[in-house]
A and B are shown apart, each in its own frame.
Chain A
Amino acid sequence: MPSPPPRVERRALVAPALLVALALAQLAAWQCAALSPWKGGGFGMFATTDHGAFRTVRVIELGAAGERRIALPSELDRLHRHARELPREANLRRLAEALRAREPGLGPLRVEVWRTEFSPADLAPRLVLVAQAEPL
């Protein structure tokens, strides 16, 4: 009579189960907070053009005379990338607050995050709004 297959020890399944849990959490963060598919441990790299290089963060001052785009200084690069990769409201607000701390004279701000869609016909790029927060 053949011997039964050896039992898999539960401890061997812990790391793979964590991998699945992390990947599912990444999917949820992508759905709910527009986390970049390339980030977060869900193995979405090299699957889509929706990643940091093709996302744009814009900060706009809402003045009485109209809207004015504000350049982001390199000192805010980490906050900028946070807003770009995970554009939930808290991250957009943090970026606006840091900008205001550097330039206290700024009026109300709107922070926008855009991703780029490419036309399958001719690769023409089109910016699509991912998230925005205002007034900040």
Chain B
Amino acid sequence: MELALRVLLLVLLLDASLFWFQRVPLQIAAGLGLLLPAFARDARLWAGLTLLTAWPLVWNWPFSDNHDYLRALTALSLTLALGARDAPAALRTSARLLVGGTFLFATLWKLVLSPDFVDGTFFRVTLLADPRFHDLAVLAGGASWETLDAFDAALREVFAGRPEGWPGAFVEPAGLRPLALALTVFTGASEAAIAAAFLWPRLARYRNVLLIAFGASTFAFATVRGFGWLLMALGFAQCAPDERRARIGYVATLFLIELYRSVPWSRMLIDALGLS
């Protein structure tokens, strides 16, 4: 449990809120918890962290990202677990259910409530419109930078009230549909599998491998670092005492997610392949 507390404090320290007046108090509290191990085990620290992570949700409503909510719920689960008769077990249960619940609702949104996800349109558009996915569109979707610029220009025309500006010079690359289909199937299947594994005891043995694989693959392009870190920290926290290899896997993936963000590996690959 000591290690889980430290990993969670590290995540809170490194991925705090956007505004300085929300971020600095949280970082001071998390930093003190990291420096003073007895303080890290004190439920009052975690109650304070719960308040410091929860009030920005109200202040920023409705702009906070989903992992901001998960961060506050994680701090709350620690506050309550530390007062439990069996604190490590309470933390494992909370962390497991938080991961399972997160992926259950993510799956509900993707596979039930969003027809544009199921038919592949979401990823076709996102690969073209979201700069975080542009490298993937060029590397594996047959897109060129000119295609991406043309899509952007044609969309701007429509948003400016000139629908006749569509499609302009934009032509969807032939490779985009298969890539979007693969991403749709992979994302939908992996998120549903993680939800099932974390919520259904019969699938418990697949939990760690599924969540680590998700972290190592998804966040290579979807560089939502804070969400990735939080999921890996929760994965770590729900590990049974004898799951040492899984805990190492979670920490390694946590660092890998940071590497994905800090090293422009996909752009280097594009340059090396002469696709730029």
Report which A residues bind B (CB closer than 8 A): 6, 8-9, 11-16, 18-20, 22-23, 29, 35-50, 53-54, 56, 69, 81-82, 85-86, 116-120, 122-125, 127
Contacts and interface: CB of A to CB of B under 8 A. Distances in A.
Interface string B177-218: 000000000010000000000000000000000000000000
Interface string B103-131: 10110011001101101111011101110
B94 interface: yes
A30 to B, nearest CB: 8
Given A12-B84, A69-B161, 18 more contacts: A8-B93, A9-B86, A12-B80, A12-B94, A14-B76, A15-B98, A23-B105, A37-B109, A39-B64, A43-B105, A44-B106, A47-B106, A47-B122, A54-B129, A85-B62, A117-B116, A118-B125, A125-B158
Most buried by B among A42, A46, A56, A123: A46
B66 interface: yes
Interface in B43-96: 57, 62-66, 68-70, 73-74, 76-77, 80-81, 83-86, 89-91, 93-94
B90 A9 contact: yes
21 contacts: A6-B86, A12-B80, A12-B91, A15-B77, A16-B73, A16-B94, A19-B69, A23-B101, A29-B62, A41-B66, A41-B69, A42-B109, A46-B126, A47-B106, A49-B126, A82-B62, A85-B63, A117-B116, A118-B125, A120-B116, A125-B155
Contact of B102 (A14, A19, A46, A48): A19
B191 to A, nearest CB: 9
Nearest to B96: A16
Contact of A13 (B70, B93, B128): B93
Contacts of A54: 129
A16 B125 contact: no
B80 A37 contact: no
Contacts of A20: 101
Contacts of A8: 93
B101 A48 contact: no
A86 B62 contact: yes
B89 A6 contact: yes
Interface of B: 57, 62-66, 68-70, 73-74, 76-77, 80-81, 83-86, 89-91, 93-94, 97-98, 100-103, 105-106, 109-110, 113-114, 116-117, 119-122, 124-126, 128-130, 155, 158-159, 161, 166-167, 172, 187, 222
A81 to B, nearest CB: 7
B114 A48 contact: yes
Nearest to B128: A123
Contacts of A118: 116, 121, 124-125
B101 A11 contact: no
B172 to A, nearest CB: 6
Given A15-B80, A46-B187, A120 B120 contact: yes
B98 A19 contact: yes
Contacts of B158: 116, 125, 127
B98 A16 contact: yes
Contacts of A11: 80-81, 83-84, 90
Contacts of A56: 159
Contacts of A37: 109, 113-114
Contacts of B110: 46-47
B114 A35 contact: no
B70 to A, nearest CB: 7
Given A12-B84, A16-B94, A123-B125, A47 B113 contact: yes
Contact of A123 (B86, B124, B161): B124
B98 A39 contact: no
Given A37-B114, A41-B66, A47-B113, A15 B155 contact: no
B7 to A, nearest CB: 17
